[in-house]
Amino acid sequence: MLQFLKYVLATLVGLVLFSVVAFFIIFGIASAVGSASENVTLDDNSVLKLDLNKSFTEHDNVSNPLSDLSGPFMSSKSQVGVVQLKQALAYAKTDAKVKGIYLKANSPSTGWAVLEEVRNALIDFKKSGKFVYSYGETYSEQGYYLSSVADKIYLNPSGGIDFNGLNAEYEFYKGTFDKLDIKPVVFRVGNYKSAVEPFLRENMSEENREQTKSFLNSIYNQVLDEVSKSRGISVMELKSIADSLKAYEPTDALKNKMVTNVGYYDEFDTAIHKVLKIEDDKKVNYVSLDKYLKTISDTDSPNTDNKIAVIVAEGSIVDGSDNSDGQIASEKTAAEIRKARKDKNVKAIVLRINSPGGSGLASEVMWREIQLAREKKPVIASMSNYAASGGYYLAMGCNKIVAQPTTITGSIGVFSLFFRIDEFTKNKLGITFDRVNTNAHSDYPTLTREMDDFEKAHFQRSTDRFYEVFTNKAAQGRKMPVEQLRAIAGGRVWSGLEGKQNGLVDELGGLDKAISIAASEAKLKTGEYRVRYPAKKEFFETLFDTVDAEQEARLMNSTFGDLVPYVQKLKKLQTMNGLQARLPYEINIR
């Protein structure tokens, strides 16, 4: 009895303690949510501190009032929204309280097209006469590209710049599948459709090497040209610096005008004090991007019901309605396009695409909604880092296509991919299969036996038919003969600049250019419309999503350690069944 009472008392004490802790947690969250709704005041002589050493997303639709607090689930955001960043730069350009920018962009994690868009926004900010100062212990190739716009670039005396040119690296898994006795079954159209090569080869095909060399040099020349203009160094000199690895040594980087100063952070801080004309012992009023965004008011938006709707399609294209991060779910995205089409106040639509492609069927479902929408109002495609294969399938249905010179696009081709696992299960696991069919192909397609010639021919016909549909619709959308379209298709990947030259793209520029074109097509002048971006998620929904994501990440790390990136890539294979319009499995351009 005494033991029983002891357990009861312990349980009661535990419940009380849990209730107290829960109360303080909920009270803290409620206080933070309440304070987040209050106006944030900005001090005079402030400096906007942009920490861009994060991953980028097209539009930050996550509302997190706890981002300025410390503790579990209250850390700073790990992503930067391109739309929000550009809004902050545009606002800060005319904000008298903001005197300049401290740019911390040593190693941003995104593609070249997004970097180009942000870089152009920084150049526009500098037109105000305000300063942009950058400091880095080291700079990656992408980090230097972004930071090269700065008035002063500080490099730590023991640091260096990874300025040695670009390379595109592919991973190949044929050896892994051979060891496991797993047989990829592939059907494809297009000599350049290299998305299946990682499963069939141990190296790049000549066609893939050719297209990669072409678009990589196109991107690199664009990067060099822009760095040349910002730093006053000729493209020839920049190539020489890259070939001789001179930027790796801080003294050489300074000698070759890659940086303006070699110094420590305290020396950089002194330079900030000097340009602000404040005493060395006085604290600089730095304001983070998140805090600064809270000072921006929507009162400047035109007082009109006319809207241009920006719909973001970011990630791999999948069937269904699961629109989780990193995916474009056909049903949900089609519903968003449909909603914008039926909204009489929406006068034009801009479809912002950042996708390497995916399901052919899902791409077709969304293409149809785009066609219905453009019958009612202009639909403009804005290409981000990627708008290739299935991503291009979406763009080709729009009235006009806008891309950055460094966008990866094209890849107009189709493949089907399956994996035979019967030898793997037999040789590695001792599992075999047998079956009874009512018809000749009742189990078709199957993973546990080899397809016969009739079945293979049937699948190839399906793949060929979808390629024919793809190219016919692309030719129709681009208003060119299908023979001309197929000459630049075949699964070949192009840069945005190459796409403009061969007719796959109409205009070069970023999201702002696409919005301007949409307004012009809708016969709307500046001040006669507002831009409607995707709505923000509810905070508590985001909080629990974050908890789930962090728990999954911890579990993956504890189970697989350094192998996590490869496990995640293998998980993606689950979404690659059937007809696919997709880029080469993954392109890493560094």
Helix (H, G, I), strand (E, B) or coil at 331: helix
The topology under which CATH files domain 46-164+245-293 is 2-enoyl-CoA Hydratase; Chain A, domain 1 (3.90.226)
Please confirm, yes or no, whether 193 is among the known catalytic residues.
yes
Helix (H, G, I), strand (E, B) or coil at 508: strand
Please confirm, yes or no, whether 389 is among the known catalytic residues.
yes
Which sign does the torsion angle of CA 514, 520, 523, 526 carry? positive
User: SS3 string of 546-575?
Assistant: HHHHHHHHHHHHHHHHHHHHHHHHHHHHHH
Is 307-430+448-589 the same fold as 46-164+245-293? yes
List the alpha helices (DSSP H) in 375-510: 390-395, 422-424, 453-478, 482-487, 496-502
Catalytic residue among 86, 99, 130, 193: 193
User: SS3 string of 103-164?
Assistant: EECCCCECCHHHHHHHHHHHHHHHCCCCEEEEEEEEECHHHHHHHCCCCEEEEEEEEEECCC
User: What residues contact residue 295 under an 8 Å CB cut-off, 6+ apart?
Assistant: 39, 40, 41, 42, 287
**Is 533 within 8 Å of 511 (Cβ atoms)?**
no
User: What residues contact residue 506 under an 8 Å CB cut-off, 6+ apart?
Assistant: 400, 401, 402, 500
Superfamily of domain 307-430+448-589: 2-enoyl-CoA Hydratase; Chain A, domain 1 (3.90.226.10)
Helix (H, G, I), strand (E, B) or coil at 415: strand
**Is 251 within 8 Å of 262 (Cβ atoms)?**
yes
Distances (CA, A) of 492 to 88, 168, 499: 37, 15, 11
d(CA 392, CA 378): 18
Confidence at residue 342, expressed as pLDDT on a 0 to 100 scale: 97
Confidence at residue 417, expressed as pLDDT on a 0 to 100 scale: 85
**Is 169 within 8 Å of 584 (Cβ atoms)?**
no
Catalytic residue among 147, 316, 359, 389: 389
pTM of the prediction? 0.85
Q: Low-confidence residues of the chain, pLDDT below 70?
A: 1-40, 62-77, 298-300, 323, 325, 536-588, 590
User: What residues contact residue 78 under an 8 Å CB cut-off, 6+ apart?
Assistant: 54, 55
Report the phi/psi class of residue 420: left, alpha or beta, with left for phi > 0 and alpha for psi in -120 to 50. beta
* Extents of the domains making up the chain: 46-164+245-293, 307-430+448-589
Q: What is the DSSP letter of 537?
A: B
| C-alpha of 246 from chain center | 31
Q: 367: buried, middle or exposed (CB in 10 Å: 19+, 13-18, 0-12)?
A: buried
